[in-house]
Structure formats: C-alpha cells, structure tokens
Structure 1
C-alpha cells in the first residue's frame, strides 16, 4: 500500500487499500479512517485539524457535540409540589431517583471507542475548545469565606473538615495524568449539556456545581428562589455555600466531605436554608438533596442539588 490511513500511520502499523481499513473497523473507529491530505505547493487550507481540515473551531465544536448524543432526560419529574408545606416520604424518594444515574454509564457509552474519544479530546485541546479546569480560584474564595464569616470556633471546626477533604483529594489524585484531566473536563461539559435539558423541564429549584462549590448550571426556579440572575449561575461566579446560612454551609461541607470520595455513596438528603440575595433578611428553609458525579478516580466532578422550600 502506498499510503496508510492517518490512524495506522500514527501507530506505525500496516494498512490495507480499503477505506475504512480493516484495522480501523476492528477498533470501532471507521469514521476516523482517512488518508492524510496531500501536500500542496501553495496550501490554502488549515492543517491544524487533519481529520476535519475544512472546519473552523466553532464548526468543529458543533460537529463534536453531534457525535455525542446524550441520554434521554427523564420525562416525568416531580409534579405534586404545588401547595404542600411538608415533604412526603415518597417525594423524597423521587428526588433521589432524579439524579440516581450512575456516572459509569457515561463512560460505558464510550467503551470500544476510546481511540475516537481521546483523539477528539486532543483536537479540542489543540483548537482551544477544552482545557483542564483550575480550581484554585474557588478554593481561595472558600478560604476568604472562612476567614471573613466564621467565628474562631467555627474556623477550627472547618479546618478539621477541610484537612480531611484535602487529604482524600490528594490521595485520589496521585495517578491522574494530563490526558485524564482533559477527559474529566470533557465529561463535565457533557453533564452541563445533559442537565441544561433536564433542568429546563424540572419544576423544582435545582443547580449543578463543581466540588469547590462554584455553580455552573441552574434553572429559573433556583434563580427565582435565590434572587440571583441566571447569568451569575452559569460561570462559577456564585458559590453554593455562600448563599446558605452559616450553620447549613458548614453542615453541607461536613456531609460532602464524608461521602465525596466514597463510591459506595452518591446522594444525601438533608435540610438547608438559602438566603435570598435581593433580600438578605429572607431565609428560605428547604428540604435539600445532593448527588455526586465522580470520575474514574472517584474524585467528584459535579454535584447536583435539588431544593424544596417548605417554610
């Protein structure tokens, strides 16, 4: 064979005349089996993305999103919250079911297509569409929150909780490599897309935040409940624990740290109090559940919270 396909050439393997070739078919990536573009005397096309040489970064992003059809969002959401001031036990069970999808299902959807997935990750990285997330800013805000809003006694309690959290995070991060960070961020993006659709049809105040508390997705019910504009609930500028009462914020961190890295537990049901940001004297007591989505290293990627006001 005079010319091997792109993937076979990259792996220094022989290739047959068929397109897709037998090796790419066996690996489950026939759609990526292409010949390398011929070099022209006066090249006019972009060669930064050899598989999609004619696409701009924006077009590439749209094409990639089409390749990942997300799971069907649940059609039936809680529909009997209207006038009740108390929380029925069966309603609590429904809250648990909303976010009970196992994170491993997201990864299983890609099994057999690992080469395809990793190659697309690298393409997105090269054109600047994805990069590992920097959690440092969020943790600095947590430190500021502790210093400015907690008493000396509460600071000591939080120090113990966060020391345990940091120790567990360090232990689980030992074997994380650069490509893993890209894959984790890609999965986080897919979660944002999925819950954008789920939240849109959910008549229940809900939001999604990173493990450091930065909110990256919420529905209009949550925005109305907290008095926070939607544009401040999609980019990490609002922290979930900052809009809770102090005691409830500490309780959240204690409960989260307790199960954050334990893959045998993924959800907790509790109570909390949210402070309306347009009227700080308005405190809304809520039944509260949160579910943790983890990566393959058992490190939390995202936390999904649901709130039912009852006061």
Structure 2
C-alpha cells in the first residue's frame, strides 16, 4: 500500500467518479434497441479506438509481457465480455433496480476468490459491513424481483454476468501488480470486444445496420461507464484490495435506480431510498475496515 501513499491522489474522488460513471450504463443500454452483444462489442472496441493514439507510449512494457500474463489477460477479457453480454441482455427482461441489485453478489465472489488465490483475509468488522451493504442493495431491487417469466430470466442473466465480472476483477488484481492500468485495460477491452465480435459473427447479427442514435449510444457507453468507470476501477486495483473495489461497485444499484427514476421514469420508493442509505453506510464501513492504510 506504500504506492498509494506516494501517488498523493484522492482515492475517494476516483471511487466516486467510477461509481457515477458505471451507474449511467443501465440508462444508455435502455436507450438502445440494438442487440446486447452488439452494444457490448462497440462499447469496448470504441474504447480501444479512443485509447489507440496513446498505445505507442507503452510499447516497451508490451514487449516485456510474458506468455502467462497474456493468457491471464485474455481470460480476464473474455470474462469481462461475457459480463457485458449477459448483464446488458438482462436489462431487456427485468428492471434496472433488480438487475443491478443482483450485482451485489460480486464482492462475495471476489472476497472468496481473493482468499483462495491470494490468501487475502478480511476482518470480522469488514464482513459485517459487507452484509449491511448487500442487504441495502438487495432491498433496493427487492420489490422488482419476480420468480417467473421474463423477469426471472433477466435476473438469471444478471447473475451469470456477476460471476463473470468477479473472475475478471480477481485476475485483474494479480495482473495490475506488474502491468500498467492502460496496458491491462486496453488489451482486456480488446479481448472482450473480440469475443463479442465472434459471437455476433456466428449468430448472424448485423454489424452496421443501426441508426445514428445507436452509434451515439455506443460512443456514450465507451466514454462514460467504460473509460471513467471500468478503466478507473482497473487503475484502483493497484492501490486497493480487489474486494474493496468490488464493494464500491455496490453503489451502482443506488446510482442506477436514481438515474432511472429521473431519466426513464421508473418508480423509486421510500424503502429503496432508505435501503440506499444503508448500502452507503455498509460500503463506507467496509472500506474503512478493509483499507486501513
């Protein structure tokens, strides 16, 4: 954690920027009528295009990447691509609140994986704080959970996407120990985009037959939740535990639900607002306990 102290940057500010940015993801996806696999593909590949002019500056680092790390980066990218594919598709069948609330299972998966892979232990206070935050997040989407029909399908898709992003986060923690955020993010996004492109090719989905509005949505997804969201979280993996970064993502259900209320006209209840406050308290307690340094 010494590197964190040397950077002299306000980590909480970057956490807040990342949470707000990823909260817009659900809104942008709802604005698009394109298939989820196409939305996810262009979101990632457009991000690569935005990053491409700066790639030459990292040529020496890229030349030193070992085969083992290339394989781990590829798997991380594939997992991220599957996360986007399943989670975005879930929004076609269930509400924003329900879909994003299921994402609260991510820190549990990451915490378990971090213990098994890296021997990372968590204090009892942090575990209690995690439970508080997860209860709050689940309560935000509880009224929208349905256990049959399309809503159930959407919830299951969101669950699969959650498991995939947990794997991506765990691999990223190890790779970021000796790989810059830019290089890691560029190739993870590239591998994820390629997986989605292959999926679209084999399913016969059109690559180009979309209205100008759709291309605008693709670009918004690339800039806001990907660059200012996922890239920022990849950067933070160098200075924070993977479980802590995952916990901050729990702010997305609250942010997305508030944005859906103001922009999409979805309802939000007093219980959901109170649950949001409980979520924030839990996240704050967890970070304070888990990131003491």
TM-score (norm 2): 0.28
Compare the two structures and name the one with the higher helix fraction: 2
Larger radius of gyration: 1
Q: Which has the higher contact order (CA 8 A, sep 6+)?
A: 2
